[in-house]
A and B are shown apart, each in its own frame.
With several copies, the nearest count.
Chain A
């Protein structure tokens, strides 16, 4: 099977950002993304997801290194200072690398 390596970029942040973030992610060149609803706790205190204002989302993006870096930098500049957000990356093996 032809498998190949890509970056998996995971962003956990406030669900208020969903609309703008997916716009940014697409503009920066990712071919897709997956979102799950989440709750959690971090430096900005607990986010219990009992209502919209306190809900988190988890966005996973599989893309090439350059795109991952571009998205990460963009988020770090524009959203890190003012929003609850964390972001991490790892290498994943994908089949059909041309999809990403």
Chain B
């Protein structure tokens, strides 16, 4: 059965599609996503302190490489099969190289429900994965020929709202450790799933609004929005195995690889690749891949990882 938090997503989706009067104020969306990002960061930061530095560095570099590579897989498909203009292909590709914090949060809830273990410094890899795809997307759109505003790019990559809260949370969690955070546990940890439920309610409403824009861009995008995460999840799982992660950890890396950004990358692309059409990339990332991943993908990628470990082990 579906995790109950997903029922909130379906409620939002239904309310949106039925054009109900339900509309959460933007400030509530901001509060809820801020709490989610901080919670995830803090939880990951606590674990960082326990990891040997070299392991972390090694994993970070491997994952950076994956985030930079995935857009280069997606781009030719979008450009030559989907016949998208160059800027649009680059922008969509960047979305799929990056990650969705919401998808990760749903996966955490799913894994907790099924008592699946995974490396608990995963939020660190999540933060790392936010970054390279943005740079890859800009390069794909502009090539190396044209002057790229390095300052603007750096600003977009490192100083976006999401990345600051995630990395800030990681640092605070790392510095304060588990005892230090006991006093903020009721807000950031105990309320986590309730906050996630509100977030998914809102995401349902937002997703419903994307369907309209999807209709214009047709079947190709829908297929891409399902095919691409399937392919990426395999890349993520294989990399997880190569890095020596546990089965749960490899599955989680598959989920991260499969997820597509809808916060950091859209904001960065809007400034750095303005000629890309944002309704197109948000349409496929939010309208297709996000619901596919949270409703179907997460258990699927976990099953894939389990099978892969059985095969590799046998």
Q: Do A and B come from one complex?
A: yes
Q: Which residues of A contact B (CB under 8 A)?
A: 14, 16, 19-20, 37, 44-46, 48-55, 79, 81-83
**Least Cβ distance of A80 to chain B in Å?**
11
* B270 CB–A CB distance under 8 Å: yes
Question: Are B275 and A52 touching (Cβ within 8 A)?
Answer: no
What 12 new A-B contacts, CB under 8 Å, besides A50-B23, A52-B30, A53-B267? A16-B270, A19-B21, A45-B212, A46-B209, A49-B26, A50-B29, A50-B202, A50-B205, A50-B209, A51-B202, A51-B206, A52-B267
Pull 6 A–B residue pairs with CB atoms less than 8 Å apart, ordered by A.
A44-B279, A48-B23, A48-B209, A50-B23, A52-B30, A53-B278
Residues of chain A lying within 8 A (CB to CB) of residue B213: 45
A-B contact count (CB 8 A): 44
A53 near B202 with CB under 8 A, answer no
> What are the residues of chain B within 8 A of A83 when measuring CB–CB?
274
Say yes or no: A55 contacts B275, CB within 8 Å. Answer: no
- The verdict on B223 contacting chain A, using a C-beta distance below 8 Å, is no
Judged by DSSP, the binding face of B is helix
For residue B267, which residue of chain A has the nearest CB?
A16
Q: Is the interface on chain B under 10, 10 to 19, 20 to 34, or 35 or more residues?
A: 20 to 34
Task: Enumerate B112-146 residues with CB–CB distance to A below 8 Å.
Answer: none
Query: In the complex, what distance in Å separates the CA atom of A14 from the CA atom of B282?
Result: 15
Q: How would residues 1 to 37 of chain B score, 1 for a CB under 8 Å from any chain A CB and 0 otherwise?
A: 0000000000000000000010110100110000000
Chain B residues close to A by CB (< 8 Å): 21, 23-24, 26, 29-30, 161, 202, 205-206, 209, 212-213, 262, 266-267, 270-271, 274-275, 278-279, 282
Chain B residues whose C-beta falls within 8 Å of the C-beta of A14 in the assembled complex:
270
Q: Are A50 and B267 in contact (CB under 8 A)?
A: no
B26 touches A51 (CB 8 A): yes
The reply to whether B279 and A16 contact each other, CB–CB distance below 8 Å, is: no
Give every chain A residue within 8 A of B206 (Cβ-Cβ).
Answer: 50-51
What residues on A are CB-neighbors of B23 within 8 Å?
48, 50
**In the bound complex, how far is the Cα of B278 from the Cα of A49, in angstroms?**
15
Quick check: B275 and A50 within 8 Å, CB to CB?
A: no
Complex interface: chain B residues within 8 A of A82 (CB): 274-275
Instruction: Kindly state the separation between the CA atoms of A20 and B274 in the bound complex, as whole angstroms.
Output: 13
Residues in B with CB closer than 8 Å to A50 are 23-24, 26, 29, 202, 205-206, 209
| Chain A contacts for B271, CB-based, 8 A | 16, 20
